[in-house]
Amino acid sequence: MSRLEPRAGVLRMKEYHPPLGDRSGLRLDFNENTLACSPRVREALAAITGADLTRYPERGPIEAMVARHHGLHPDQVLLTNGVDEAIHVLCQTYLNPGDALLLPVPTYSMYEVYGSGAEARIDRVVAGHSFAFPLEELLAAITPQTRLIAIANPNSPTGQTVTREQILQVLTAAPHAAVLVDEAYFHFFGESVMDLVGQIPNLIVARTFSKAYGLAGLRLGMLAAAKEQMQWMRRVISPYSVNALALACLPPALEDQQYLDWYVGEVKAARLLMEAALDRLAVHRWPSAANFVLVRIGAQHRHFVQAMRDRDVLVRDRSSDPGCEGCVRITIGPREQTDAGILALEESLAEIGWKGKA
C-alpha cells in the first residue's frame, strides 16, 4: 500500500514552534513592543463596521500610501502578512530545488525554515566570537547556485549591524542573487538602504510593523524592491494575505510619528540602563543597535531563564543558535519595564550563584 507523503522539501523543513506558551508576565522574550501600539490605531479599530468586514481586503491603496511614506513608487512596495510571509514569498519566488540560500549565522530562524521548505541548500557562514558581520567569508561563499542571501540589519539574536558599504559589496558580488536586507529593527538603529531600492536591481528590503510599531498581533510587514523584481513576488503572494483590520490600522500607525519617536526614545534610554546594569553585574553582553541585548550566562542558562520566569519576566534562551552556547536574549522596552527587568535580573543572578563573566 502506498501512503501519502508531503514534498521532499517539507520533510526536510525544520518544524518551527515559537515557544510562546503562557506569556502572561513581562514579555522580554520576542522583541515585540512591550507596551502598546499608538492610541490612534485603537481608534481606527473601534471605527471598523460589520459591513467593512464583509469585503475582501484591498491592499493597493494602502500600498500606495506606504510607498509615499517611504519615498518609493507604489509598484516597488508589497505589503505582507508579517515579514515572515515576505520571507516565504521570496523563497518561493527565487529558490529552485537545489539552489543555495546563503546566510550569515547566527541569524533569524525563519530564513532557514522557508528556504529548506523550497528544497534549497542552506549555505551558512558562521560569524566569529564578536558576531561581527562575516563579510569576507560571505563573499567567498557566493557561488553560481546562490540565489538568495538574507541579511538582518540589525541582526537577531546578536544586535550586530552591517554597514552600507558591506551591503553594497554583497549586492555587487552576487548580481544573480536576490539580496534581502531585513530591517525589522530599523527604528532602533536608524540606518537603512531603503533609498537604494530601484537603483540596485537585486536589492530587496523588508520592514515589519511588529516591533517598534507594536502591531505584531495584526501581522503586517512590507517588501520594497525594483518594479522588475516586485512583479514576480506579486504573482506568488495571496491577494488577500493582509487582512482588512491590518490595512485599516496601517495609515494611523504611520501617521503617528510622535508615538513612534516616543517609543524608540524610551527603548534607547532603557538600552543604556540595561547595558549599565549588565556591566555592573559582570555579565558578558554584545553591543546592540536593536531593542534587545544578547548576554552570555553560560552553563546555568536554563536555570537563569527559569529564575526570571519565576519573577514573571520572560526572556529567550538562544543557546541552540550557532555560536550562542549559554546565551540568553533580553528584549528592551520602555524604561519602566526595563527597571522591572533589571530587578529580576539581579535577583535571578543571585539565585543561580552568579560570580561574574561566564
Ligand X SMILES: *Cc1c(COP(=O)(O)O)cnc(C)c1O
Residue numbers of the site for ligand X (CB under 6 A)? 31, 82-84, 108, 152, 156, 182, 184, 208, 210, 216, 221
What three-state secondary structure class fits 192? coil
Which is nearer to ligand X, 64 or 216 (by Cβ)? 216
Shortest distance, CB of residue 82 to ligand X, whole angstroms?
3
Minimum separation from the CB atom of position 208 to ligand X (A)? 3
Cell numbers linked to 222: 512590507
Name the residue whose CB lies closest to ligand X.
Answer: 82
SS3 159: coil
Q: How far apart are CA 251 and CA 29, in angstroms?
A: 28
Least distance from C-beta 292 to ligand X, angstroms? Answer: 9
Comparing CB distances to ligand X, the nearer of 108 and 304 is: 108
- By beta-carbon proximity to ligand X, the closer residue of 293 and 307 is 293
The secondary structure of residue 96, as a DSSP letter, is: P
Distances (CA, A) of 114 to 77, 105, 241: 21, 16, 17
CB of 171 or CB of 215, closer to ligand X: 215
- Of 133 and 354, which has the nearer Cβ to ligand X? 133
Which pairs from 123-131 meet CB under 8 Å and 24+ separation?
124/322, 126/322, 126/323, 127/158, 127/160, 127/323, 129/323, 130/160, 130/286, 131/106, 131/155, 131/158, 131/160, 131/286, 131/294, 131/323
Question: Taking the complex as a whole, how short is the minimal distance between the CB of residue 83 and ligand X, in angstroms?
Answer: 4
Q: Quick one: which of 86, 90, 61, 66 has its CA closest to 76?
A: 66
CB of 31 to ligand X, least distance (A): 6
Residue 1 CB, nearest approach to ligand X (Å): 40
From residue 346, alpha-carbon distances to 97, 172, 279 in Å are: 49, 47, 12
Distance CA(56)–CA(226), nearest Å, equals: 27
Which helix or strand (DSSP H or E) is residue 179 part of? strand 178-182
Instruction: Report the alpha-carbon distance of residue 124 to residue 160 in Å, rounded.
Output: 17
Minimal distance, residue 9 CB to ligand X, in Å: 21
Q: Which is nearer to ligand X, 95 or 307 (CB)?
A: 95
Q: Which is nearer to ligand X, 31 or 38 (CB)?
A: 31
Q: Which is nearer to ligand X, 224 or 277 (CB)?
A: 224
* Sequential DSSP letters for 225-278: E-HHHHHHHHHHS-TT-S-HHHHHHHHHHHH-HHHHHHHHHHHHHHHHHHHHHH
**DSSP state, 343?**
H
Q: Write down the least CB distance from residue 252 to ligand X, Å.
A: 18
